[in-house]
Structure 1
Amino acid sequence: MTPNAASTSSGPSRRSFLASTAVATAAVAGGMPLLTACGGSDNGSREGATSGKAADKLIPTYVARTIAKPDIPSKNGSAAGYTGKVDLAALAASVPEKLGTEAPLKIMSPLWGTPPKAGCAYYKALDAAAGTKVTWQNQDGNTYGAKLGAVLASSSIPDVVVMPGWLLTGKISNAVTAKFMDLSPYLAGDKVKKYANLAAIPSDSWRMGIFGGALRGIPMPYATANFIMPYYRKDIFDKKGYTVPKSPDEFLSWAKEATSAKAKVYACGDMMWSSANFFGVRPSGTLGWNIGDNGKLTYRVEEPEYLEALEWSRKLFAAGVVHPDDKARSGDPGQRFTAGQILVFNSDNSAWYVKTAEQAKSNPAFEMEAMDLFGADGGNPTLYAAQPAGIWSLIRKGASKETVENALAAANFAAAPYGTKERMFVDYGVEGTHYTVKDGVPVKTDQGNSEVINAWTMLAAPAPYFAHPDLPDIARKQVEWQQRMGAFTKKTSTFGMNIVEPTRYATLSSQFEQLEIDFVRGHRKLSDVQQAISTWRSSGGDKLRDWYKQLLDKNGSGN
């Protein structure tokens, strides 16, 4: 069974480069819940957050459900890992009775890849098993934000909308409380026990589903030790005798040695995401706010590490060690990586399995590993925990009771834990049609590869785990990497909070993404970045700081 990753693509074009929490592909950063500092009920302000006892009244009762014991338990905020074979003939049922009534249900979700055809065998089989009748409105994940904004501004909203955290900014963030319903009457407290798989989602993840003082989002849980990984071509490193760099200086020195423009081989792609982790820059969005040891509340761009990370990335471009297509922001870095045109690239944790499986037949010598993150001085890194959830399924306001119950039935099916018939169904489809079993391992057919892709997996998920029956060693490496990095992880003051900022600050930080891109490529000066930080403060940053201070004074700190 596959990992419950958000998608299998990730790159600097999808989010600001210093957002250091990604999904499993997503990315996994932005979006963020605890009590309303400045209002936050359906009848009041939509700003703020909900925490403490107020949040406890809203979230579902947690009922642990581990049907298959993980071979590697979660540690330091990591996902769990399954490395042994599962007896496919003895899978348990996590949904013994169909909870759906086959009422029509429209779901809009981002999808990376070619969407399956409506009415395909996979969709029909899942509907029959769950008792649902879903019409999937899959949208290109890379342009989902634009589509989402247009849909939320219209009067026609699908029954269920999948909301990625990296899009929870500005008007979209405020639209969540205006357009989507409070699910507390169906899920709060013991009500959730009707949906056993939803009840097994950790409480911290459910708290992230509180928007505007109400439980609106069904969460996709995240491991908090979830960071963009700097992958390297181990097979080429071994062949060339390269030593894996353990500091920014060592990386630059190695990169110059490894780059041969004449041979069209470059050390790396755009490393801006990893530079954030190397230099200890906080994520973008609400996680970027933190009260330091000096008692001062600052935003990420105000810290010296922010400029240090940018300047180091600029050195890579200036040294000519970054592939020209990465500099031009064109093409797919992942393809350049597997082709050996770049030896290091950034991506989320899902790439480890995806790229390895992709190359297994065509390039059996291919081997990739993830570098351990290091600090600016070559010592231990300073890393910031990802939020415990980063994607939500939301049900539109005004939906009928039957629509809500069918949406929850679908989500409950999608959230089935590892080692169950439902998880196997969601991840692999129908045996003989979408997969075959070889030596006890499920192997997707061509039809499976074209139909069983990230639709149902986006609706809901169990607690984070990695499991690759065909490549169990990759699952082990993914978990162990997260556990090692998790040992250096800190929480910001806004950890665990789903904060809706005032709309007047919606575009306050929007200038930085393009400025960062231009600066590291040598198109803008350091003084331009410094001026942008100064302008950010004077045009609302200082007032937003006061707003956050009030929120944290009322709700307490997330760390």
Structure 2
Amino acid sequence: MSLNMSRRSVLRAAGAGAAVLAAGPALTACDSDGGPVSVSNEGTKQAAWPAHVPAKVHYDLPALPENGAPAVLDYPSLPLPSSVRSKPGDGSTVSCMALSYGAAVKLDSSNRLVRAVGDAIGVTLKPRFVIDTGTSYTTALATMMAGGDQPDILMIPATGAPSISEFIRSKCADLSEYLSGDAIKEYPNLAALPTRGWQLMGRIGGGIYGVPTYRYNAPQVGLFADRDKLEKAGIWGRGVGVQEFTDAMAKLSVNGRYGIGSSSAAAFGWTYHAGAAGAPNWWGESGGSFRFTADTPEFEQAVENMHRFHTHRIYNPDALTLGAGDAQPKFLNGTWLTWSNGTGAAAQIFSQVRGFTPDLAFPYGDRPNTPGGDSVFGFTVIKKSSPARIKMLLRILDFFAAPFGTKEFELTRYGVEGVHFTRDKGGAPAHATRLGQTENSTNLPFQYFNMAPQPLFFPGLADLTKRLYTSQKALLPICVPDASAAYRFSSATFSAKWAGVSPALNSAVMDAVSGKTKVSDWKGTVARIKQQNGIDRMAEEFAEAKSAAR
């Protein structure tokens, strides 16, 4: 049995924390004089970005253009080297909190993986993993902020939470003096994080308040496909027009089989289809001005395309009610010929396919893009404390940022040999033990506290690794980032209101695609979403932050 691979579901609902609004009014932070905290970078002295000292890692297939991931086909020779000089901890108790896409497991002293990681670090580790339901982590952050129960190490998702920037500025350590310029060289694994990651995380009030969990440039959402059937239908590869795609998919959607699969959580997979129509990845930018994706002609065209797919019965008829957990089997058993999903799940899902060749399809349309771009999954902040403790906590983040092929990476990603995994003939930790099927990086994602950019590597699946490497090579030239990424946490309006945007947009798309509302009314729908969520003010604050950045 293969080890569980960490994954994200598509449309984790970037900022889908609408439920947090039920927890009470947005929290506001105050400075030492009792006034409101400013998170803007405008007019501030801005900390220098950390120096970059790349780690030495061997790759079998080189890094792709456009900052794409390299690939590893064979696991490094044993014994693995260590990436830290000594245990980073001081014997104290360290609390930490992050989200999880797995299942709940006991986190007491009986948990062998938590104990092993704590022992390797040199602390009593007290982690808390909040299982993601689209809103649960945002709610947990709000509860934590209101109750004052702040952990030593806290993971912040890239989409934020209401008033999170103000909380970070007032309650978390300013790490600028420890990380700016050459100071970061005290933490070699953190110094190996690319400069682009720090820039995308951005500053708050001119300071560096976190450590980014940086990922290579990659499509975040792709169209998982039965390549065999799409090739036979003549719609595989570049240059497939919308009408050609629609006609072929309609012919394939017969006898209980559907060309495009979707669940209620995915909202008809609009993230992928908006990119196919050429819409921005959440935010576009031109000449210093920012524009919300739904407020573009390309997005409106995508809604019209999806409505056409729905009327031609290309989507599964239960797309509005099917649970996210019921989606994967539909693709695996061939009921769905394509399925829009997070590309991080591709290897784990594709490795289970039998009877057809799974692959990532190139988007249809005349000028398509695919959402992605080199990005941060999130970043980690540290509770205000003494300089000595802050340095110790940074050494722990340095431990978690260990590069691929090191002892620290193997421990946090796969666990303890013989306890959580056994090796294949190539030495890779490819087989989970019974305990490892519960205590693993899906249910205990230490990588969300920090992780070095990871190459494509799937134990025992070299052919699949090559296929995904080839797919990414084709998709990277049309991969576009969210233009707001580096400026979100210096926008007070984003911090306060973004949580409501994704649920509102998902609902609007589902209504328009299913025919509950008219596609011709789309502009009015978007105007209401913008007005209710402060979209125009966000755009202004992003522009101000971009102007102030240097």
**TM-score tier after normalising by the smaller chain length:** 0.7 to 0.9
Query: Contact 1:352/1:474 (CA < 8 Å) preserved in 2?
Result: no
Give the CA deviation at 1:417.
0.8
- 1:393-542 equivalences in 2 (<5 Å): 393-397=380-384, 399-401=385-387, 403-440=389-426, 441-443=428-430, 444-454=432-442, 455-489=445-479, 494=484, 496-503=486-493, 506-507=496-497, 510=501, 511-535=504-528, 541-542=535-536
Partner of 1:386: 373
CA distance in 2, matches of 1:4, 1:198: 26
CA distance in 2, matches of 1:159, 1:491: 31
Cα root mean square deviation, aligned: 3.2
- Following TM superposition, the consecutive aligned residue runs of length 4 or more in structure 1 with deviations greater than 6 angstroms are 2-5
Deviations, residues 56-99 of structure 1 (Å, cap 9, x unaligned): x3432211112324522232121121123321x23221113111
Pick from 132, 149, 152 the counterpart of residue 156 of structure 1.
149
Give the CA deviation at 1:391.
0.9
CA distance in 2, matches of 1:430, 1:446: 13
Deviations, residues 481-512 of structure 1 (Å, cap 9, x unaligned): 23322223456764644443233984377343
Query: Contact 2:275/2:368 (CA < 8 Å) preserved in 1?
Result: yes
1:304 pairs with 2:304: no
Supply the AA of the counterpart residue of 2:116.
Answer: A
Partner of 2:285: 290
1:100 pairs with 2:86: no
- Other structure's SS at 1:530 match: helix
Quickly say closer, same or farther: Cα 1:43–1:368, change in 2 above 3 A: farther
Deviations, residues 438-481 of structure 1 (Å, cap 9, x unaligned): 21232222211210224211111112421113112333333332
- 1:131-150 equivalences in 2 (<5 Å): 131-142=122-133, 143-150=136-143
Deviations, residues 402-457 of structure 1 (Å, cap 9, x unaligned): 54334323221211111212112222111111111221232222211210224211
The percentage of aligned residue pairs carrying the same residue is 21
Query: Contact 2:153/2:383 (CA < 8 Å) preserved in 1?
Result: yes
Quickly say closer, same or farther: Cα 1:189–1:555, change in 2 above 3 A: closer
- Other structure's SS at 2:319 match: helix
CA distance in 2, matches of 1:178, 1:476: 47
- Other structure's SS at 2:475 match: helix
Q: TM-score, normalised by structure 1?
A: 0.82
Q: TM-score, normalised by structure 2?
A: 0.83
CA distance in 1, matches of 2:167, 2:219: 27
Quickly say closer, same or farther: Cα 1:282–1:346, change in 2 above 3 A: same
CA distance in 2, matches of 1:155, 1:16: 22
1:192 pairs with 2:192: no
Partner of 1:271: 269
Structure 2 alignment gaps of length 5 or more: 17-30, 263-267
Partner of 2:222: 229
1:335 pairs with 2:329: yes
Structure 1 alignment gaps of length 5 or more: 18-38
CA distance in 2, matches of 1:14, 1:299: 16
Quickly say closer, same or farther: Cα 1:101–1:283, change in 2 above 3 A: same
Deviations, residues 106-131 of structure 1 (Å, cap 9, x unaligned): 11111112233223111111122222
Deviations, residues 513-550 of structure 1 (Å, cap 9, x unaligned): 32122212221223542113334666755555444444
Deviations, residues 357-392 of structure 1 (Å, cap 9, x unaligned): 3x2xxx643531000224x32xx5245653531311
Partner of 1:314: 307
Partner of 2:265: none
Give the CA deviation at 1:265.
4.8
Quickly say closer, same or farther: Cα 1:296–1:135, change in 2 above 3 A: closer
Give the CA deviation at 1:182.
0.9
Supply the AA of the counterpart residue of 1:381.
Answer: P
Give the CA deviation at 1:221.
0.6
Number of aligned residue pairs: 512
